[in-house]
Amino acid sequence: MGAEKRSGDADRRLGRRALIVGGAAAAVGTAALAREELSHLWWRLPGVEKPRVAGAVDFRGARWVGASPGNFRRADRPDDYAIDRVVVHVTQGGYASAVKAFQDPAHQAAAHYIVRRDGRITQMIRELDVAYHAGNRQYNERSVGIEHEGFVERRSSFTDAMYAASARLTAGICGRYGIPVDREHVIGHVEVPGTDHTDPGPYWDWDRYIRLVRRAEQARGQ
């Protein structure tokens, strides 16, 4: 897909920029090249961007499908914005339509991850970057967003495989950024200030979910 290819190329360029800023300009070649590259860095200086690898995921086992750059903002979290929330969403549709929406540059929204009914996890935006998922700028900047395939009004949307996979994903996120596993820090979209969204809705079993995340967190620690 075109969008994915573009982002792949951008990733390689950024990897090289990161090297230059890191002081390895000599390894790249001419000073002219370094100057040319540095002229594009006005938006990052004086920070050093972390290297990005095309197709790499933050959660082992996730599959990478890049979202359209129109649906997120490049950032350098957690250095520029601390991450202290996980936001749980429900797609109100199937997996394929969610992927398609997040690849649509006009959609203006996307989450970092989508968890399918069968427990497969797709990552569409890097945790480094700010995804437009919460409808609240500050909450977008401070959180990682996880979509779950299904409908808020259907209890049957939320399968055992989905809970288990999502809990492992959230445990990993909480572990990476030191986020406490509780309902203050693992929240639903409905709890984001100012939102009119209701997801994940009344059938999402929070007690079960937090229990599973804590269990997954302990398993990680062993």
Q: Where in the sequence numbering do the catalytic residues fall?
A: 147
Q: Shortest distance, CB of residue 199 to Zn ion, whole angstroms?
A: 4
Q: Shortest distance, CB of residue 128 to Zn ion, whole angstroms?
A: 21
Between 40 and 206, CB nearer to Zn ion: 206
Between 52 and 89, CB nearer to Zn ion: 89
Task: List Cα–Cα distances, 123 to 83, 119, 146, 210, in angstroms.
Answer: 17, 13, 9, 21
Instruction: Report how far residue 200's alpha carbon sits from residue 207's, in angstroms, rounded to the nearest whole number.
Output: 13
Q: Shortest distance, CB of residue 197 to Zn ion, whole angstroms?
A: 5
Residues at the interface with Zn ion (CB under 5 A)? 89, 189, 197, 199
Contact of 117 with 149, CB cutoff 8 Å: yes
8-state DSSP, 93 = B
Q: Shortest distance, CB of residue 110 to Zn ion, whole angstroms?
A: 11
Pure H helices in 85-222: 95-103, 137-142, 160-177, 206-221
Which element (helix H / strand E) includes 114?
strand 113-115
Between 21 and 86, CB nearer to Zn ion: 86
Task: List Cα–Cα distances, 166 to 11, 24, 105, in angstroms.
Answer: 27, 39, 26
> Which residues, including other chains, have CB under 8 Å from residue 81's CB and lie 6 or more apart?
75, 130, 141, 142
Between 21 and 152, CB nearer to Zn ion: 152
Q: Shortest distance, CB of residue 145 to Zn ion, whole angstroms?
A: 8
Using the CB atoms, write b or e for 142-176: b if 16+ within 10 Å: bbbbbbbbbbbeeeebbbeebbebbbbbbbbbbee
Q: What spatial distance separates the first Cα and last Cα of the chain, rounded to whole Å?
A: 40
Residue type, 58: D
Between 16 and 133, CB nearer to Zn ion: 133
